[in-house]
């Protein structure tokens, strides 16, 4: 069975409509949150520790031993 992918030309509008109608948005909220986490973590790591390997704790959504990178996560 092939997956069915929904398409939205306006994610913001789709999100507002989902709030009004209480129906699920095209992009699942939990997947959007995880995608955003990945992007923000990559930005924080590249700014705070370029070229260094950092460890990520997905439960706490923070780096395990890098306070500078964690500060960037909360700006």
Q: Where are the domains of the chain?
A: 28-73
Q: How far apart are CA 35 and CA 41, in angstroms?
A: 10
Q: How far apart are CA 9 and CA 20, in angstroms?
A: 18
Q: What is the number of residues in the chain?
A: 75
Residue 31: per-residue pLDDT: 86
Neighbouring residues of 44: CB distance < 8 A, sequence distance ≥ 6: 63, 69, 70, 72, 73
Task: Tell whether the model's pLDDT for residue 5 goes beyond 80.
Answer: no
Supply the pTM of this predicted model: 0.66
Q: How far apart are CA 40 and CA 2, in angstroms?
A: 31
Residue 4: per-residue pLDDT: 76
Tokens of residue 9, six digits: 């030309």
């Amino acid at each position: 069975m092939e997956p069915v992918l929904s398409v939205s030309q306006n994610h913001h509008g789709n999100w507002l409509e989902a709030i009004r109608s209480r129906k699920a948005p095209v992009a699942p909220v939990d997947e959007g949150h995880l995608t955003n986490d990945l992007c923000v973590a990559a930005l924080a790591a590249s700014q705070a520790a370029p070229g260094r390997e950092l460890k990520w704790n997905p439960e706490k959504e923070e780096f395990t031993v890098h306070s500078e990178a964690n500060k960037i996560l909360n700006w």
